[in-house]
Amino acid sequence: MRKTLPLLALLLATTQAQTGVGVSPPRALYPATPGASLTGSIVVDHPGRSGTLRVEVVLQDVLLQADGRPLYLDPGSHPRSLTRWLSVSPLTFLLQPQATQEVRYTVQVPPGAQSGTHWGIVFFESAPAGGRQEGGGLGIRVKTRVGHVVYVEVGQVTRSGRIQGFRYLPQGQEGPAQIRLSFQNTGTGLLRLQGRVEVRDLQGRPVARAEVPETASLPGATHELPAPLDKPLSPGRYLVLAVLDYGSPSLIAGEGRIEVR
């Protein structure tokens, strides 16, 4: 089953919800060979000063939608799903205020595993323990969740990508005016992208500059990257230049034109 949720920035390492538990570390990346077994651990904490929390582990897959938002899926929903290889213990536990719980997991890589990055999310859903009302009445039980993203890179990994185009998004409910870069991850590995954008008029004079905040790009994904502007662009035609850094000696560059109406 597909679920579209507000962006939790899990791929960018969100570590704690405003209520509920926190997790550390927010993500982990392991190199592996086909047939290997590896283990990891997560520390789950209850930052509150009152109330016991019941915590449950939920495994999910995630892909990137065209607009860059995550799409959460059931385990095993795509060819690079890691959740099929993942076992976690404990799956449920109670957490007292200011307490911590270590949760361990094992990844069993199949002997015939495809080379490249595989990934999955270990979510921790928390709610107050004993949430039922007295007398058998119905009560509202609010759950919050945070996640730990597990990446495993099997064998030889290639990292490459390209900028396919640009569009202008005016200021609105999604935030300030911004340039949106369409990016395609053409390799087999996870990319962590950040960069800069320059907007020029058709005579080549600089009009605006913007930063692309660090964003994860999953293998095979084509998605947008945001570059928020300090102020909206005036109507007209513009040239857009972008450079992205993904931790390699080489950079990914692209240019295109946009029209603001």
Beta strand extents in 129-261 (DSSP E only): 144-154, 161-169, 178-185, 191-200, 206-217, 222-228, 236-245, 252-260
Question: What's the confidence (pLDDT) of residue 9?
Answer: 40
Tokens of 180: 């949106």
Question: What's the confidence (pLDDT) of residue 214?
Answer: 96
The CATH number of residue 57's host domain is 2.60.40.10
Q: Is the confidence at residue 90, as pLDDT, over 90?
A: yes
Percent of the chain with pLDDT over 90: 84
Examine the fold and report which residue of 137, 154, 171 is the final residue of a domain before the chain moves on: 154
Same domain, yes or no: 123 and 243? no
Question: What's the confidence (pLDDT) of residue 174?
Answer: 74
Examine the fold and report which residue of 139, 154, 169 is the final residue of a domain before the chain moves on: 154
Q: Is the confidence at residue 249, as pLDDT, over 70?
A: yes
The continuous run of DSSP H or E covering 112 comes out as: none
* Residue in the block written with tokens 């990934």: 119
Same domain, yes or no: 40 and 139? yes
Same domain, yes or no: 76 and 120? yes
pLDDT digits (tens, 9 = 90+) for 96-147: 999 999 999 999 999 999 999 999 999 999 999 975 544 445 555 678 999 9
Same domain, yes or no: 238 and 172? yes
Full domain range(s) for residue 83: 3-154
- pLDDT band, residue 5 (cuts 50/70/90): very low
Same domain, yes or no: 150 and 63? yes
Question: What's the confidence (pLDDT) of residue 61?
Answer: 97
- How buried is 1 (Cβ within 10 angstroms: 0-12 exposed, 13-18 middle, 19+ buried)? exposed
Same domain, yes or no: 73 and 106? yes
pLDDT digits (tens, 9 = 90+) for 159-203: 999 999 999 999 987 789 999 999 999 999 999 999 999 999 999
Same domain, yes or no: 137 and 174? no
Q: How many domains does the chain have?
A: 2
- pLDDT band, residue 231 (cuts 50/70/90): very high
Same domain, yes or no: 55 and 143? yes
CA 4 to chain centre: 13
Instruction: Give the strand order in the sheet containing 222-228.
Output: 161-169, 178-185, 222-228
What does DSSP assign to residue 133? P
Question: What's the confidence (pLDDT) of residue 142?
Answer: 72
SS3 content of the chain, % helix, strand, coil (to 5): 5, 55, 40
Report the C-alpha dihedral over residues 232, 234, 235, 237, rounded to 10 degrees. -90
Residues sharing a CB contact under 8 Å with residue 79, sequence separation 6 or more, in sequence order: 114
- pLDDT band, residue 229 (cuts 50/70/90): very high
Cβ count within 10 A of residue 257: 11
Same domain, yes or no: 82 and 186? no
Same domain, yes or no: 98 and 57? yes
Examine the fold and report which residue of 88, 119, 154 is the final residue of a domain before the chain moves on: 154
User: How far is the C-alpha of 210 from the C-alpha of 153, rounded, in Å?
Assistant: 32
Same domain, yes or no: 141 and 37? yes
Average pLDDT, the chain: 90
User: How far is the C-alpha of 201 from the C-alpha of 240, rounded, in Å?
Assistant: 9
Phi and psi torsions of 134, nearest 5°: -65, 150
